[in-house]
Structures are given as C-alpha cells and as structure tokens.
Amino acid sequence: MNLGILVNEGPYQHQAADSAYLFCKAALAKGHQIHRVFFYHDGVNNSTRLTEPPQDDRNIVARWSKLAQDHNVDLVVCVAAALRRGIRDDNLAPGFRISGLGQLVESGIQADRLVVFGD
C-alpha cells in the first residue's frame, strides 16, 4: 500500500514528529511504500540541518534524512510555512525539498491513505 504522511508540528516540542517517523519506519518494514512525507505548519522545522540535540537524545532531523536516503522517501516542506519560519534551501537537511501545498493535495490524491500527525 502507498501511504501519504502529513506532519504538522516541529521536532521536540510535540511528539507528532516522533510518532510520524516511527509509523513510517514500521510501514516500510511491512513492505508498504511511503508516497511522501509532507511537512506543514511548525512541521517545517523538522527539516533544518542546523539542529544539534544532546548526545543522549534522538536526532529527529537526522533520522528523517536517513529514512530518505535508505528508502528513497520524498520529504517535502511547505514553502509558505517555511518562509514564515525561516526554513530555506540553504539550511535544509539532506533528503528534504521545499515545494508548494499542491504536493500535499497530490499526496492525498495519489496515495491510498493519508495519515495526519500533529498537535
């Protein structure tokens, strides 16, 4: 099955980003495809390559990048939400790209399910 994911909250402040990531990992392990992970609202803050969490904590941004690399997952950051919050191409972590909201709607159309994670 082909799954679309929407993440509406940033890393660390809410569990949404963690839940979404662990859901994606489990879906891939079961042989499903992730059509796209779309980051909206504060969710765009998942994509900054500038984070440096403490050594004993998870690195949420790096985990997404690795997921993209290992499984060729499309990680799309909403451009309008990103501009409001200071996310740009030059601070984007590997595996993420910035694009329009149309990519979210397209994911809703093309994927078999769209699962929303947020606050």
List the single partner that 104 binds among another protein, a second copy, none, CB under 5 to 8 Å by kind. Answer: another protein
- Does residue 117 contact residue 18 with C-beta atoms inside 8 Å? no
Q: 64-103: which residues touch another protein (CB under 8 A)?
A: 80-81, 100-102
C-beta separation of 44 from 61 below 8 A: no
Closest to 96 in 3D by CA, of 104, 107, 88:
88
Residue written as tokens 């790096």? 62
User: Is there a catalytic annotation at residue 24?
Assistant: no
The stretch near a second copy (CB under 8 A) out of 19-27, 64-72, 84-92, 100-108 is 84-92
Does 1 bind another protein (CB under 8 A)? Our answer is yes
Handedness of CA 42, 85, 74, 99 (dihedral sign): positive
Task: Please identify every residue annotated as catalytic.
Answer: 78
Q: Which residue ranges make up the site for a second copy (CB under 8 A)?
A: 10-13, 41-42, 45, 48-54, 57, 61, 80, 83-88, 91
